Chain A
Amino acid sequence: MADALRDKTAIVGVGYTEYSKNSGVSTLTLALRAIRAAIDDAGLAHGDIDGVACHRVGDSVQAVIVAQALGIRDLRYHADMFGGGATSTQVLISASMAVASGLADYVVCWRAINARSEWRMGGTGRAAPDTVEFQYQVPYGFVTPPQQFAMYSHAYMHRHGVTAEDLGRVAIFQRGHAMKNERAMMRGPLTMDDYLASRWIVEPFRLFDCCLETDAAVALIVTSAERARDLRRRPVLVSGAAYGGGHTLFSNQRADLTTTAARELSTRLYASAGIGPADVDVAEFYDAFTPLVLMQLEDFGFCAPGDGAAMVADGATSIGGALPVNTHGGHLSEGYVHGLNHVAEAVAQLRGSCGDRQVDGAEVALSTGQPGYVAGCSSAVVLKKGS
């Protein structure tokens, strides 16, 4: 049943560590600090957590070790998912399934990452574990996320006539949002001249097309909608969920390098929540690189294929526009917590706690994982303001 999870569970606590370029601590410590903050935010007691779930790519502490460190004696659910940004909302969906089925009562989901000081994504030329296709990439010096997404994005840009200025406008509008966010790593203004003058990383990507690399952790606590009603914070309901989709250079069944997993996944996602794109008030799109925002605007049904750049140019994606996007500044300007900071921002918008960057009347939010290229899978959730 497509709607079996609809409004059954809620996010009741959110915790962050500080964002930095060098945390100086282990990923276990980052995880525990964010989790402690999330427990406090929810108004729960230390001993209430009975489930743990995280995603990682061989770069962070195992879920079970975190459970031990939390002192959970009777662990009722654990998930330790291999995956990058595509898996971010999948962790939340899996936790919701565990809670909805009664396996566990309070599951904490987190991502803890020293992405700048300890383990830069592919930055050392080494492959993540479990990626057999790297043998076809490593010898050509084609390994890191910016290289792989540049390959994909170049084909997309060619298909739709997307220009450097179109990409620059994504970086600029998100920087504008980050300037209203005290947590954001990048809070100075960004102009088109700054963008165009920034150095090439891998054509067609300049420096400001690429996300930050951040040391940080974010944690979320999921429980049943029923239990959520008695807790401290206004609950944010997990209203729709979908994962899957996606393709890579190596899929051998997808000739098209210009679309995302959302072409398939969004239909299931909206059906699961019983809504359509017109009902979404704010979208937090996984934005490792600027073109992913344009592609998701199109493939999640907010505009026609190829029209994402025009939507951004018209101001629709800015706070105050028709569909505010990445209100925290996203991975490009807030910081990089591998998709989980996007979910946390969606929760804050639906709680109405975003201050200067609050989207008026936000009732329904979309939060997405990496849209399916490179990972070969994706995930996304629809969140709804609870009562």
Chain B
Amino acid sequence: MSASERPLPVPDRDSLPWWKALVRHELLLQRCASCDALRWPPRELCNRCGTLDWTWIPASGRGTVASWVVNHHMFGPGFRAPYVVVAVRLDDQDDIVMPGAYWGSGDGTEDGADLAIGLPLEVDFDDIDVPSGSEPITLLRWRPARSMAP
């Protein structure tokens, strides 16, 4: 697809470091400095214990399918139907669920036939074309986990 058609994310001041890490092919989470709870999307305060101090940590990059949809209708420019969006429940903490693209066959044409709720996935990174002069953008795409080993 052409770079001009694809809708790009608009990071905010909280999320910008998270998006920049994706460009380095790093998936980050925030960890509370007090209670160690993980969180995503990026937010300044721990919603468990109310602490402001936190650090970035790398996520394991593994999760399971919490749900998925197969898009048939053309909802907007930049996508070819059918395409799949997965909601991935991270192994790191089971209340973090992240949407992303699914890359089962590896050629970008997906009908979700190989998916199941609970299927183990691993993260992959998609460096997408952006208009010249724009900041680079990398998106999440998930594929079936090749190994269950930690």
List chain A positions with a Cβ less than 8 A from chain B: 122-125, 132-144, 146-147, 150-152, 154-155, 158, 199-204, 249-255, 257
* B23-71 at interface with A (beta carbon < 8 Å): 39-41, 43, 47-48, 66-71
B98 within 8 A of A: yes
The residue of chain B having its C-beta at the shortest distance from the C-beta of A252 within the complex is B39
Nearest Cβ distance between residue B139 and chain A, in whole angstroms?
Answer: 5
Contact of A202 among B73, B87, B99, B100 (CB under 8 A): B73
Contact across chains for A144 and B67 when beta carbons are under 8 A apart: no
A257 to nearest B CB, angstroms?
6
Is B9 located at the chain interface by the 8 A CB criterion?
yes
Q: How far is the CA of A136 from the CA of B40 in the complex (A)?
A: 11
State whether B78 touches A141 (Cβ < 8 A).
Answer: yes
Distance (Å) between the CB of B76 and the closest chain A CB?
3
* Interface residues, chain B, with chain A CB atoms under 8 Å away: 6-12, 15, 39-41, 43, 47-48, 66-73, 75-79, 83, 85, 87, 89, 94-101, 112, 117, 128, 137, 139
CB contacts (< 8 Å) of A142 on chain B: these are: 69, 71, 85, 99
A147 near B98: Cβ-Cβ < 8 Å: no
Which of B6, B11, B15, B66 neighbours the largest number of chain A CB atoms within 10 Å of its CB?
B66
Chain B residues, Cβ within 8 Å of A147 = 69, 71, 75, 85
Please state if B12 and A139 are interface contacts (CB–CB under 8 Å).
Answer: no
Contacts of A204 in B (CB 8 A): 69
**CB-defined contacts of A154 to chain B, threshold 8 Å:** 67-69, 117
Least CB distance, A61 to chain B, in whole angstroms? 26
Interface of B is mostly: loop
A residues less than 8 Å from B101 (CB atoms): 140
Docked-complex contact A132 and B12, CB < 8 angstroms: yes
Checking B9, B73, B87 against A138 with a beta-carbon cut-off of 8 angstroms, the contacting residue is: B9
| A-chain residues with CB within 8 Å of residue B79 when the two chains form the complex | 141
Q: How far is the CB of B5 from chain A (nearest CB, A)?
A: 10
A373 to B: closest C-beta gap in Å: 11
Whether B66 pairs with A139 at a CB distance below 8 angstroms is: no
Query: What are 10 A-B pairs at a CB distance below 8 A?
Result: A125-B77, A134-B10, A135-B15, A141-B71, A150-B69, A151-B99, A200-B70, A202-B73, A255-B97, A257-B97
Cβ of B73: which chain A residues have Cβ within 8 Å of it?
146, 200-202
- Report chain B residues within 8 Å CB of A124: 76
Contact of A140 with B89 in the complex, beta carbons under 8 Å:
no
B15 touches A141 (CB 8 A): no
Q: Is the CB of A143 within 8 A of B75?
A: yes
Smallest CB-CB A-B distances: 4 pairs: A125-B76, A203-B70, A200-B72, A155-B67
CB-CB under 8 A from A253, the residues of chain B are 47-48, 95
